[in-house]
Structures are given as structure tokens and as C-alpha cells.
Homo-oligomer: A and B are copies of this chain.
Amino acid sequence: LLTESQRERLDVVLVSPRNPLNIGAAARAMANFGFAHLAVAAPYAPHWREAKSAVGAPDLLASARESATLAEAVAGCTFVAGTGTLTHRKPEQPVVSLPEFVPLLHRELARGSRAALVFGPEKHGLTSDDLSFCHVLVEIPTGPRQPSMNLGQAVAVCLYELVRSSDSKGAPVLRSETEPGEASARPGQALATSADLDRLGDLVLETMAAAHYSPRAMQAANSRDIRLMLRRLALSPHDLRRVLGLFRRILWRLRRTEPGSNR
């Protein structure tokens, strides 16, 4: 996981972004994933102004660094990674996939580097001149039919990858949000006991009989089927109680209205 101080040492750099909405979207993704330092190289002045003054723009847009060139934007960084796809490019530097990039970045940040993740203009991506400032080219694994990503989405995907790989090892943890004892078949939570299931099974059978659901000769077979089925259902104790309650009511009602009963 990136520490707070490591996140503080990562700059997201947009080179000549054109669309104010994309600039806003990039900033929003940074806010979503906890990154604060945006730098913009050679922006188109009116679009940049518009993006900064947009309603609801994240704070980090207002404090973004602005520079005339990419060289200046990354001047303080010891590790610079360009992003893009390889369609029309034969880059000089190592190409790594986005998942492969994360350990590299971790290592650089861990040794105290300041790093930059650089995104090119919407239309054509980073030029080979831009790429010459980069230590690696990070490739986002898009498909061949539509390789080019929207800028805001590319930023979101890259930053997500940096944040996600925190807990990449082993046992995923499923969290249940409700109180213990509530609701159901949730992993890590108790299931109804076999005895509970049998209690329900008996009640269902009684109800079937009261509803004349099937001939008496079928009851042994039904009983087994119901038992098996209830075990496939992964009922929690809570759900079990609800289903019991429902069937008790139904059974009571069926019996109360049965011809021959003394209501």
C-alpha cells in the first residue's frame, strides 16, 4: 500500500489537455483515490481556466502546478512514467503493463523518490519527445479494436491500480455490513443448523399435507427432497426464522379454514 508520504510524492501530469471536462474528470479521479498533486504542462489557457473555475471542481485543481513544458513539470522528479498504448509507437524505454508498473513505482517511492505519472493530450497521446522524459512507458491493457482511452478514464484506471494493489495477496476479506444475527447467507456468518433446517422441513411437509399438495404415498420422498433442498439454500438463522414464521401462519390459516375444523 502506498503510504501517505508516498502519495504525497506522486505527481499526476497532464500534457496539453484540451477538454476542460477531461481535466475535471482527471482531478476528480485523483480526489477519489487520494492523490493531491496535479501538474499541467503547456495547457491551452482558456480551457485550463474553464476547468479550474468549473462548479464543483476539486480543490486540488486550484492548487495545480502549471508549467510551460513537460521538462519543467517533471523537473523535481526522479522517476517519470509515461502512459499510453503502443499502437503507433516504438518506444525506446521499457514498456510495462499497468499491473507490472505498480511494484516499480512502489520501489522508487520507497527509496524517497518523487515520481510523476504523465498523460498525453486527448488526440494523439504523448509524443516521442514527451516520452523522452520518461523512464518507463506504462501500457493500459486495452483491446486492439478500441485501444485509445478517454483521458479522465485513463487517469482513473491508473490511480485505481496504484491503490488497489495494496492487498493483492491471498485471502480476500468479505465484509458484512449488517449486525451479527441479522440477514443471511453471507460468508463468515453462521448458517442455520441442521436441526433448524429439519424443523423447517417438518413444517413445510405439514403445510404440504394441509394443502393436499401431493398424495400421502409421496411423503417419504418429499421429505428427503425437502431436506436436501433446504440444505442447498444456505439459509441464515435470521432467514430461517422468517420462513418458519411464514409457514406457521400459512399452516394455521389452512387448518382454520379446513372443512371439518371447528372454527
A58 to B250, CA, bound (A): 53
A188 to B140, CA, bound (A): 21
Q: Name the interface residues of A147-176: CB closer than 8 Å to any CB of B.
A: 147-150, 152-154, 156-157, 160-161, 163-164, 167-168, 170-176
A96 CB contacts on chain B under 8 angstroms: 172, 174
Q: Can you show 5 pairs from A to B with CB atoms below 8 A apart?
A: A25-B150, A31-B143, A90-B178, A170-B170, A183-B228
Kindly supply a per-residue 1/0 record for chain A positions 242-254, scoring 1 wherever the CB is within 8 Å of any chain B CB and 0 otherwise. 1000100110011
Q: Are B185 and A146 in touch, CB under 8 angstroms?
A: no
Which among B33, B149, B254 is the interface contact of A250 at CB below 8 angstroms?
B254
Q: Name the interface residues of A113-163: CB closer than 8 Å to any CB of B.
A: 140-143, 145-150, 152-154, 156-157, 160-161, 163
Q: Name the interface residues of A192-234: CB closer than 8 Å to any CB of B.
A: 204, 207-208, 210-213, 225, 228-229, 231-234
Q: Name the interface residues of A14-46: CB closer than 8 Å to any CB of B.
A: 21, 25, 28-29, 31-34
Q: Are B183 and A232 in touch, CB under 8 angstroms?
A: yes
Asked if A92 is at the interface (CB within 8 A of a chain B CB), the reply is: yes
Q: Are B250 and A183 in touch, CB under 8 angstroms?
A: no
Q: Are B185 and A174 in touch, CB under 8 angstroms?
A: yes
A141 CB contacts on chain B under 8 angstroms: 160, 163-164
Q: A147 → chain B, closest Cβ, in Å?
A: 7
Asked if A91 is at the interface (CB within 8 A of a chain B CB), the reply is: yes
Kindly supply a per-residue 1/0 record for chain A positions 72-99, scoring 1 wherever the CB is within 8 Å of any chain B CB and 0 otherwise. 0000000000000010011111111111
Which among B97, B172, B184 is the interface contact of A187 at CB below 8 angstroms?
B172
A174 in contact with B175 given A28-B146, A153-B152, A183-B229 (CB within 8 Å) = no
Asked if A257 is at the interface (CB within 8 A of a chain B CB), the reply is: yes
Asked if A50 is at the interface (CB within 8 A of a chain B CB), the reply is: no
A12 CB contacts on chain B under 8 angstroms: none
A253 CB contacts on chain B under 8 angstroms: 210-212, 254
Interface centre among A94, A187, A213, A225, by most B CB within 10 Å? A94
Q: Are A232 and B185 in touch, CB under 8 angstroms?
A: yes
Q: Are A99 and B167 in touch, CB under 8 angstroms?
A: yes
A253 to B210, CA, bound (A): 9
- Among all A-B residue pairs, the 6 with the closest Cβ atoms: A257-B257, A184-B232, A31-B146, A100-B172, A153-B156, A176-B234
